[in-house]
Amino acid sequence: MSAAATPVPPPDPWGSVETNAFEIRMAAPRSALSFEGKLLLGGATVAAILVSLRFLLLGAWPVLAFSILDLGGLAVALVLFRRRPVPEEQLRIHGDRLELVRIDHHGRRTEHALPVFWTRLEIASRSELDCELWLVLRRERYRIGQFISAADRRAVAPRLQAALRAARTFS
């Protein structure tokens, strides 16, 4: 007789509210160029050079020079985009402290520690398509969720409010 193994649910990417520890990581979406995209870009490059060669044979040599400059500029932009760090925000609740860590696209890191009991989440919507989240401590305001979409901010807001509520009851 064998015991059936119960499936383990996957971890919740938004964090956990059952304990006093809570963490949310919000990162800007990055899309890498897929293999098909690289093939398409290579095909467009070959086509541009072939068209430019036709103009070169007709005596309009600047067309080839500007095509090479255009393609070189595109290649440099793609390399710079890939090398830049992904901007992200991390929110952690440890006991009676809320930590906000921001890493911008230059890799600069800023940290703010706020007391959970006095910090509130403010949701500002100018329209159905827009939503801003603010952590407010007295007169200090910290905008959060800048790197994610409005729909994701709307999904994060109730979870963060529940985590703040839960952390206040444990304090």
| Confidence at 171, pLDDT banded by 50, 70, 90 | low
Q: What value does the mean pLDDT of the chain take?
A: 82
Paired residues of 95 in beta bridges: none
pLDDT tens, residue by residue, 69-83: 998 898 888 888 888
DSSP-assigned letters across all residues of 33-79: PPHHHHHHHHHHHHHHHHHHHHHHHTT-HHHHHHHHHHHHHHHHHHH
pLDDT tens, residue by residue, 123-167: 888 887 788 899 999 889 999 988 888 888 888 899 999 988 888
Strands 97-103 and 119-124 turn out to be unpaired
**89 closest CA partner among 34, 12, 28:** 28
Residue 43 is encoded by which pair of tokens?
């095909």
| Residue 92 confidence (pLDDT) | 92
105, pLDDT greater than 90: no
| Residue 143 confidence (pLDDT) | 92
| Residue 6 confidence (pLDDT) | 45
| Residue 20 confidence (pLDDT) | 57
Q: In 3-state terms, what secondary structure has residue 25?
A: strand
pLDDT tens, residue by residue, 6-15: 444 555 555 4
Percentage of the chain beyond pLDDT 90 is 23
